[in-house]
């Protein structure tokens, strides 16, 4: 019985398809992808930490402004009362009250000044922390971007290899008979892996099992011989 054309070409087609599958599988499982996902998580964490510090700093700076404003108002009030106190022209009782008020205002000013110094100190410390966390977030993002660029590079190289293999595939396909090609496609879809095997000493090249003389004679009588064990197309 005459064989459909392209049995040997089918072996080559299978080799090309296996190479494409391998490349695409590797592309999906690049170790750099997991590394990049982790780098992104770290960068996001660092950015969140930096944002939290920046928020904290903004709140603290508002407290500083408010305290500065309150201090200014209290200082003005103190100055005014001092001026009135030293101007005299008040009864002894009024003078005593005024003196007590001035004393109270002075204590308030001292407390506020201490508070302001404490706040400014905190703000300075926070500014330093914010700067450091900003730098950390920045370098984490840079590392992530470098990995992303590396992945793009690797994937572009894989895509180019795949494209070259597909070009070769397009050249091989026309020399394989349509029935054979259809069967090959069906077997690959259903079973995947090796679906074409070269026969050597009645042993199937796909599953490596041997056929008896009678079995072998029977299958080789078919237009498209297939292994009785694994259904692979046999190249005899």
The footprint of Zn ion (CB under 5 A) covers: 204, 206-207, 227, 229-230, 232
Using the Cα atoms of residue 131, residue 134, residue 138 and residue 143 in order, give the sign of their dihedral.
Answer: positive
Measured from the CB atom, the residue of 119 and 230 that comes closer to Zn ion is 230
What residues have CB less than 8 Å from 82, skipping those under 6 apart?
102
Supply the minimum distance, in Å, between the C-beta of residue 193 and Zn ion.
Answer: 11
- Which CB sits closer to Zn ion, 187 or 227? 227
φ, ψ dihedrals at 196, nearest 5°: -130, 130
CB of 206 to Zn ion, least distance (A): 4
Find the shortest distance in angstroms from Cβ 203 to Zn ion.
9
Tokens linked to 202: 């009645």
Smaller CB separation from Zn ion, 224 or 230: 230
Shortest reach from residue 233's CB to Zn ion, in Å: 10
Of the candidates 182, 174, 226, the residue with the CA atom closest to the CA atom of residue 9: 174
Triad 79, 87, 76: Cα angle to 5°: 10
When the beta carbons of 13 and 211 are compared against Zn ion, the nearer one is: 211
CA distances from 61 to 27, 73, 130, 132, 134 (A): 50, 18, 13, 18, 18
* Nearer to Zn ion (CB atom), residue 118 or residue 218: 218
For the bound state, the minimum distance from the C-beta of residue 216 to Zn ion, rounded and expressed in Å, comes to: 12
Residue 126's alpha-carbon distances to 43, 51, 122, in angstroms, are 20, 12, 6
């Amino acid at each position: 019985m005459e064989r459909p054309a392209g049995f040997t070409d089918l072996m080559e087609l299978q080799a090309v398809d296996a190479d494409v599958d391998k490349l695409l599988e590797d592309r999906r499982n690049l170790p750099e992808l997991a590394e990049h996902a982790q780098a992104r998580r770290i960068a996001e964490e660092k950015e969140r930490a930096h944002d939290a510090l920046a928020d904290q700093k903004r709140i603290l700076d508002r407290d500083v402004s408010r305290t500065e404003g309150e201090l200014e108002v209290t200082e003005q009030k103190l100055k005014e009362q001092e001026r009135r106190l030293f101007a005299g022209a008040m009864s002894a009782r009024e003078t005593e009250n005024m003196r007590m008020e001035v004393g109270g205002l002075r204590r308030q000013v001292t407390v506020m000044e201490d508070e302001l110094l404490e706040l400014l100190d905190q703000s300075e410390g926070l500014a330093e922390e914010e700067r450091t966390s900003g730098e950390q977030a920045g370098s984490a993002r840079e590392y992530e971007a470098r990995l992303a660029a590396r992945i793009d590079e690797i994937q572009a190289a894989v895509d180019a290899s795949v494209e070259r293999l597909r070009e070769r595939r397009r050249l091989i396909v026309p020399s394989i008979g349509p029935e054979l090609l259809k069967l090959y496609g069906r077997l690959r879809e259903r079973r995947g892996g090796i679906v074409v095997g070269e026969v050597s000493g009645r042993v199937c090249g796909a599953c490596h099992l041997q056929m008896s003389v009678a079995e072998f004679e029977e299958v080789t009588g078919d237009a498209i011989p297939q292994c009785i064990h694994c259904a692979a197309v046999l190249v005899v």
